[in-house]
Amino acid sequence: MNDLGGGSAEEALGVQRTDGDVMNEDNVEAPPMSEEPQTEVSHEEIADPIDDTYPPDRSLLLSFKFHRARSIYLGQEPGCHRVHHHAPTWHLDKEPTIIQDLVMLAGLDRISEISYEHCNAGLIFAICEHWQPETNTFHFSWGEMILSLDNVQYLIGFSADGDVPITEGSWSLPKLVEIFKKNLYQDEDVFNSMKTGGKGNSLSLVKLLNFYAGKLEKYNDNIQNKRPDGQKKKAMSALFVARTYMLYVLGTIFLPVKKGSYVSARYLYLFEKDKANIKWSWGSVVLAYLFHNLGAASRIDGKQFAAYTTLLETGARELLKYREAFDNYKVEDVVWDPYRAQRRSDHDFNENTFFNGLTSSPDHVEPIYPNRIIKQFARIQPIPKNPKCVEVSGLRTWYGDGPKQYKPKYGWVDAFSKGLWKEWIVRSRNRGRRLGGPAQCVEGYMQWFQSVSWTKICPPTVDLSVNGDIGLPACDPIGRVRSKSNNCDVPMEVLGEVPNICEHEQYLMRRDENKLLVEQISALKEEVQKMKDQKKQKQENEKERYEMIIEKLTEKATECKQLRDENKALVEHISALKEEVEKMKEQKKQETKKETYEMNKLTEKASIN
């Protein structure tokens, strides 16, 4: 059941409908938002004494008192997280083709391609320490960054379009048993045998795997020999195996628990027959669940982390692994869009990337703020307003005596499903002017960000300049202003002689290499597009084949029913004929008996005469 609070999405996010004002190619020169940041604080906060263990302006990071970064800065190391990464052991490619097709239609067929046996725990530790749940973004010295809906589509290939899967309401044990029987066509005894440890309302992933994985044909071949006398054992169908596999994916990859040993049976609700035509937004599910667990892991008492770690690692692939590396990073070292070469243009983003609202997994509701990371979309970064949803989320814990349970609450209104996200995207005029070069931000952005955020994780006793082997080189790229500038990464004109010939030669070599790479990438793009077209055609053919099989099965079922009716009529006709023959035999017997009697009388009469 979702953790939902009062209020509406409009009140929580402080946004308005766009009234059809969407991005188009004519708004290239849309001016960046230049309004001052929202920095109002209460009189109680203003009266607080200066404390260098908090951001100078406390109006944004309201729960920073219990953040891991502050504890580390104070020399109170909270200890490492335990990262729970569960690699899938059920391989879809070993299942029959019809099961693979059914899973593909649900959009969950790429799990084996995007999962790894191991995870980089050190990298995940460092990333969690930079997460701020008030903004649902990573706070680094160069600004905010986020895993967006666009990242989900590019990194793991899951569409962010579609409906948000919600399982609201009360889920009692009888209701779970009913949904289990309805979707997997098994009885309550099987449900009880599949439960974790034989109790509770969750299903054991190991038991589901052992019962269904690779067992379709073998199970049905042996069903006649194993069923008890007088009982009918139900057969296993491809549809039931496909539903179980998708349930396994949710419990192992998308919505894992810390132990990774069980999954809620209520998720079967998403795969019911009447929802077969619904396209679920699995990208939104992954982000909402990941955001919630990042927030929980950022707390002082956060000891464990369980989410889709592959997405987190891949999204930070361009960053170094440890705290000192993050603290040493400079603005010009950041790769804001590592997949720009794969795009048709610098601004080739799906429109739903700019959705500014609440998204949800079946268990958690979390907001997405693309207006805070416009710089990732090749636009000038404006100064964003403070999100209003923080005031209703329960994250204001400045004056608490101890850390509270991380359980933010937002007023859930589904503004994403059925294409509603189009009415809740960041307005074009608030997206900042488009860029064709390095990332930039409006004047004053860095001063504002440094006043409301906390980006350094290492304690002040650590000399970051010592560990040069972990950080990045101290040299500055040719033609770039050092990060001391307030304009982030503004190109500058290089006058006079280049100060470092070696660097300049390297620059020219890399420029030529880049030119060659661009040509190679263009050729690869064409090849990839051909492969995509071939794959699409193959999928369409497979879909037609599947529909044809279903149609033939339906025809055969109808034919079988007709034959059963005809057989029944024939049996009744044969029974009637048998009865008629018996009557005729009885009649013949009586006639023969009568004739014999008369013959005997005649014989006696003849003897007397």
Judge if 285 and 392 occupy the same domain.
yes
* Residues paired with 330 in a beta bridge: none
Whether 494 shows a pLDDT value over 50: the answer reads no
* The most confident of 11-15, 453-457, 590-594, by mean pLDDT: 590-594
Mean pLDDT of all residues in 290-301: 87
- Cβ atoms of 469 and 518 within 8 Å: the answer is no
Tell which wins on pLDDT, 496 or 152. 152
- Per-residue pLDDT tens over the stretch 365-382: 889 898 898 888 878 888
Tokens of 608: 């007397």
Judge if 353 and 479 occupy the same domain.
yes
Whether the model pTM is above 0.75: no
* The most confident of 17-26, 518-527, 558-567, by mean pLDDT: 558-567
The CA dihedral of 35, 37, 43, 49, to the nearest 10 degrees, is -140
- The backbone torsions φ and ψ at residue 181, rounded to the nearest 5 degrees and listed phi first, read -65, -35
In a domain? residue 600? no
pLDDT at 225 (0 to 100): 54
Whether 239 shows a pLDDT value over 50: the answer reads yes
Tell which wins on pLDDT, 590 or 457. 590
Judge if 158 and 287 occupy the same domain.
yes
Judge if 420 and 478 occupy the same domain.
yes
Spatial separation of the C-alpha atoms in residues 599 and 606, rounded to whole Å: 11
Judge if 153 and 242 occupy the same domain.
no
In a domain? residue 544? no
Mean pLDDT of all residues in 158-170: 78
Owning domain of residue 211: 174-274
- Cβ atoms of 236 and 222 within 8 Å: the answer is no
Q: What DSSP character marks residue 328? A: H
Judge if 307 and 447 occupy the same domain.
yes
In a domain? residue 507? no
In the block, tokens 């500038």 appear at 485
Judge if 259 and 314 occupy the same domain.
no
Whether 30 shows a pLDDT value over 60: the answer reads no
pLDDT band at 584 (very low <50, low <70, confident <90, very high): very high
Judge if 307 and 381 occupy the same domain.
yes
pLDDT at 531 (0 to 100): 92
- Per-residue pLDDT tens over the stretch 457-467: 776 655 555 54
Judge if 188 and 154 occupy the same domain.
no
DSSP helix/strand/coil, 146: coil
Judge if 269 and 295 occupy the same domain.
no
Tell which wins on pLDDT, 65 or 124. 65
DSSP helix/strand/coil, 333: helix
Spatial separation of the C-alpha atoms in residues 192 and 111, rounded to whole Å: 28
Of the residues 234, 253, 274, the one at which a domain ends: 274
End-to-end CA distance of the chain: 110
Judge if 92 and 226 occupy the same domain.
no
pLDDT at 256 (0 to 100): 84
Domain count, the chain: 2
Judge if 267 and 330 occupy the same domain.
no
Hey, what amino acid is at 396? R
